[in-house]
Each structure stands twice: as C-alpha cells, then as structure tokens.
Amino acid sequence: MIEILPETPAIHAAAIEDLFDRTFGPGHFAKTAERLREYSASVPDVSRVAILDGEVVGVCRVWPLVVGERRDRALFYGPVAVAPSHRGDRLGLRVTQAAMEAGREAGWPAAILIGAPVYFTEIGFVVTPRGRLSFPGPQDQSRIMVSDLAGEASALEGLVTAP
C-alpha cells in the first residue's frame, strides 16, 4: 500500500532528486520554474512523497513564492513526478492534492502550478487569465494555474518570484 507523507529531507532528498532526473531528464534545470526554485528552499512540511515498500514512487515538492507589487504569499507546487511503474494510476494527483491540503492547513493563501490543465483542473486548479501572472523567463501562459488554499488565488497578479 502506498503511503503519502510529508517530505523528510534527510531521508527522501536523494531519492526525490533521482526520481526527478529519471522523470524529466537533465533538461528540467533549464525551465523557467527552476529559476524560482534555485533561489529558494522547499517547504518539507507541505511537500508530499508517495512511499511504497520504502521507495519514493511519487513526489510533489512545494516552494514559497511572492507575487506582484503587494508581495502576496503563495506556494509553488511542483515538480510533480511519479515513477514509471505507477504512472496512469493518478498518483500524481493524489500526492499533489495531499500537498494542497497541507498548504491549506498551514494557512497559505494560494497555490500556483505550471502543468497540464486537463490533469490538474481535476483537483481544483484553474488556468489564470493570460498575462495575470508573469515569471522570470518565458512561460506558456496556457499552463499557469492557481488554486485557493486558505485564501483567494484569484487576487494574485504580477511577477512571481522567490521570497
């Protein structure tokens, strides 16, 4: 049975990085989303890992962000990765939804995610209006999504940056 737990960096970090490398390849470091992550530290209490027989088979890492001139707080969800042996069983959605619940319980107002709308809208993400959010590099506007946590994501507007 798969357990979904908070990330414990001392235990899970190496396995998570290995899963990211196997899932996305070395090119994932060139993505705009990585510009936000490289100047920040993840939030392990909100991030979630899926564990089966002691092995990390899924992960949703979560990062703090600030948005716009008002410097609204938000969480950045991703990367979301699932081991090839568990793709197709909705594990990515389950681990992301568990991380969203943790973010809500921790009082974070909103979630931002860059991903496939056909997939992530099932758990409450909505595509933002074109130009509402911008990133420190090129980003496909049709893949930028937000979700309410303990506040209203629709209020987010402006440049998304690391805190």
pLDDT at residue 30 in the model: 47
| Residue 35 pLDDT > 80 | no
Of 138, 97, 31, the C-alpha closest to 23 is 31
Percent of the chain residues topping a pLDDT of 70? 93
| CATH for the 3-161 domain, from 2.30.29.30, 3.40.1390.10, 3.40.630.30, 3.20.20.70 | 3.40.630.30
In one-letter notation, the amino acid at residue 130 is R
| Residue 25 pLDDT > 80 | no
82 forms beta bridges with 58
Of 141, 125, 132, 127, the C-alpha closest to 159 is 132
Percent of the chain residues topping a pLDDT of 90? 71
| Residue 28 pLDDT > 60 | no
Q: What is the pLDDT of residues 68-101, one digit of tens each?
A: 999 999 999 988 999 999 988 899 999 999 999 9
Query: What CA–CA distance (Å, rounded) separates 36 from 9?
Result: 19
62 DSSP 8-state letter: E
Q: Does the model's pTM come out above 0.85?
A: yes
Query: What CA–CA distance (Å, rounded) separates 11 from 9?
Result: 5
Locate tokens 């979700």: which residue? 147
Residue ranges covered by each domain of the chain: 3-161
